Chains A and B, each alone.
Chain A
Amino acid sequence: MQKVFADFIHTLRQQGVPVSPAETLDALKVAELLGVQERHQLRHGLGLVLAKNQQDKQTYEHYFDEFFKFTEVTPSTKGEDSEGEKGEDGIHEPSEPNQDLSANGDGPSDISSSSGQGGGESEDAGESESELMLSGDLAVQAQSPLGQMLQAGDAAEIAMAIARAGQQEGVQNIQLFTQKPLFSYRMMNQMGNEALNQELLELDASNELAQQRLASRLRNAQAHLQEQVRDYVEQQYLLYAEAKGQQLRENTLQKVKLTNIDNHYAHQMADLVRKAAKRLASLHSRKRKLRKRGLLDVRKTIAANAAYDGVLFHTRWKTTVVDRPKIMVICDVSGSVSRVARFLLLFVHSLQEVLPRTRSFVFSSDMGEVTNLFKDQSLEEALSDIMTTWANQSTSYDKALADFSEQALQDVDQKTTVIMLGDARNNNGNGRADIWQKVYQQAGRVLWLNPEHINSWDTGDSIMASYRPYCSELHCCNSLRDLERILGNLLKHS
């Protein structure tokens, strides 16, 4: 049972539900307490300890159903299938399948059996005896172990064998969908497929009718088995690896340069940016304190002076420290950065959610404040609005900075962090570095994040050098990971 739970929890972790070891222990205690007979109750009970927010709960419920459906249904379907096959051969009494179905129907919630097939086994036991007797009527017996098993046709045993082979071959470690055939092949071999093939060849060679009949029967069964194995691998893949592929993609996307990301991935990228921003939010949104002075804290004062016979020596003041950084983000959306502009804007938007006192500006030549636009509209609308209104003009840092000094320079103070997202490609204008100097003098900190690699700075019409003296920090920022790291640092120190 522990193994099943461990596998299940592993699956949950794969799907992004954070389950700690302590919670795993809790889950085992819950299962012990509730028993595994009441599937419904167990589902609620495990949900209480394993999934601790609503999103996780949904994931949990989905995978609980998936995971334990697999174990309970397998024996019965397998039973039916093989039954049907024998029915065609005309060996089996027609009454048997019904009996089998009802027998399996009794134990739908039997999830205790270690891989689910154990429960089926005992129910099928009576049936498999009759099977053996029937096959005993045939003059010829299969020689290879797998052949014998197939001839016996015990669904439960076959399913057990499949699970055993799967475990030995480590199907749980499947990573990519391309590995599915490989694992199926290995599992078949593990179960003794080669010996069976050998035997089939020998049977084909003989001229006796009984032997040839056996060969064709075994072939059928073999094909059927192959299908079962494929199904098994498929299920395991869905349980263990589906999320891994996704993770792999996400990891890669994080590292790839923003300029090189295909539009096709833009949607996934948006999700990633949101995730990153949420992570930043949960890490840093707690520093919300403001110092409030001037109120005497009577209780604390008396307590502090109890030692002096109640004479008020020391005063204690009520303080609550609330300290929230003020941030201004300026984002270049002109043609030269158009490929990354969307992502930068995405991040600006997320940043604004994290730090409510963020003001956002965009420009290519005219500068406009978009703080309210982000606040009032949904992200998609805001982005398309910005791109149509502000983007696609030729860049002019001159004009933009002049606008900035008009609109916001008076609000820049020592507590403000100014972040510029842009490539400093100014179409050979002079750049008005004097304004940037003023910003630098007034602000607490000035960050410049350039999407271009450091080697391309100051080449062509890039005038990074003239702004460089007036930045407290300068970073090359061209992947999501860079962005996250830099802003994480920013939030840590603010």
Chain B
Amino acid sequence: MIIKHADKIASPEVLQGAFEQRGYICSDAIATAVYLACHLQKPILVEGPPGVGKTELAKVTAEYLAAPLIRMQCYEGLDEAKALYEWKYGKQLLYTQVLKDQLGDVMRGARGLDESVERLHSFGDIFYSEQFLETRPLLQALREPDGAVLLIDEIDKSDQEFEAFLLELLSDYQVSIPEIGTVKAKSKPIVFLTSNNTRELGDALKRRCLHLHIPFPETHLENQIIASQVPDMDENLRGQLVDFVHELRQMALKKVPAISESIDWARALLLLNVDNLDEKWVRDTLSLLLKYQDDIEIVEPELRKIMNQINA
């Protein structure tokens, strides 16, 4: 996969430019991280507050490299049967029932128990073969002939055990299935792991990954992002909007607005034909930015002050 796209990942700048064309404005750090991940063939662990484009990064990478995106959402209780593979038990049962008579035919004429077992052995493990294997995202990513982008979303939500299970996959791109053996990646996938930091991940996992922290973007970067996502927006209004959101992020809120919220807000303002951000409009649309009533109550009395600040 890497060899196929060597020109596409020639340097971090190339990546940055290409992502920009696809509407994903990224900082130098992000471009460098993706570049290194491609060349060193190491997974990237992306951390950062919700809504800064962690998942989006994997999507845009997959799109750019024209590779299938295989996504696995983690949650508590996720185990390897759901992440890696499972046997098709129903099918196995059905086949044993159907083949019962056949089995009688095969065994006919065999003398003694030893010979019967011998004959059975000569058929191999029919019921534990590829046909009965149900692939799950991880195995699927390994078996993709041209490589894939594997997104392991919100790894922090999964259990400790699952994290440990991932180690073999992440360092050697292979997994062991007891019945079949070790499955090695045909072409190494590019792996993104995202985390919201609800719990500290293990050192062993972190050691195997490049660690990328995506913070809230700086004003000019966010300005660019909104410009690319909501192109019809007036430049002046966009500046006001970005400044306002930045002011909010300085406040002690339960959940500060992320980029996705700024984009939603920008779209809403565009829809409402707002051409200048004033207090009334902000008050009416504040619920788009803040998701908790407590936060809204904190911000509302301060609105005038903030508006004065951003208009100054």
Contact = CB atoms under 8 A, between A and B. Distances in A.
A52 B206 contact: yes
22 contacts: A18-B203, A23-B207, A26-B40, A26-B42, A33-B36, A33-B39, A41-B12, A44-B29, A45-B36, A48-B29, A48-B44, A48-B211, A48-B212, A49-B36, A49-B211, A52-B211, A53-B211, A282-B200, A299-B86, A306-B92, A309-B96, A310-B96
Given A48-B29, A303-B87, A320-B77, 16 more contacts: A18-B203, A22-B207, A26-B40, A29-B40, A30-B36, A30-B40, A33-B36, A44-B32, A48-B211, A48-B212, A49-B210, A49-B211, A52-B207, A282-B200, A309-B96, A310-B93
Nearest to A40: B28
Q: 7 closest Cβ contacts across the A-B interface?
A: A48-B210, A52-B211, A52-B206, A44-B32, A44-B29, A310-B93, A302-B89
Interface of chain B: mostly helix, strand, loop or mixed: helix
A45 B96 CA distance: 56
Given A282-B200, A299-B89, A47 B29 contact: yes
A54 B200 CA distance: 11
B32 A48 contact: yes
Interface in A317-344: 320
Contacts of A29: 40
Interface in A11-26: 18, 20, 22-23, 26
B176 interface: no
Given A18-B203, A282-B200, A48 B96 contact: no
A57 B47 CA distance: 12
B48 to A, nearest CB: 9
B71 interface: no
B33 interface: yes
Contacts of A40: 28
Interface residues of B, number: 32
Interface of A: 18, 20, 22-23, 26, 29-30, 33-34, 40-41, 44-45, 47-49, 51-54, 57, 282, 286, 299, 302-303, 306, 309-310, 320
A299 B90 CA distance: 10
A229 to B, nearest CB: 38
Contacts of A20: 207
Nearest to A289: B159
Interface string B20-57: 00000000110011001001101011010000000000
Contacts of A48: 29, 32-33, 36, 44, 210-212
Interface in B1-27: 12
A124 B96 CA distance: 84
Given A33-B40, A282-B200, A306-B93, A57 B28 contact: no
Given A26-B40, A29-B40, A320-B77, A34 B213 contact: no
Contacts of B93: 302, 306, 310
A18 B32 CA distance: 22
Given A20-B207, A33-B40, A57 B213 contact: yes
A299 B32 contact: no
Contacts of A45: 32, 36
Contacts of B97: 310
B110 interface: no
B87 A44 contact: no
Nearest to A47: B29
Contacts of A33: 36, 39-40
- Which of B12, B36, B200 counts the most chain A CB atoms within 10 A? B36
A44 B28 CA distance: 8
A54 B86 CA distance: 38
Contacts of A47: 29
B160 interface: yes
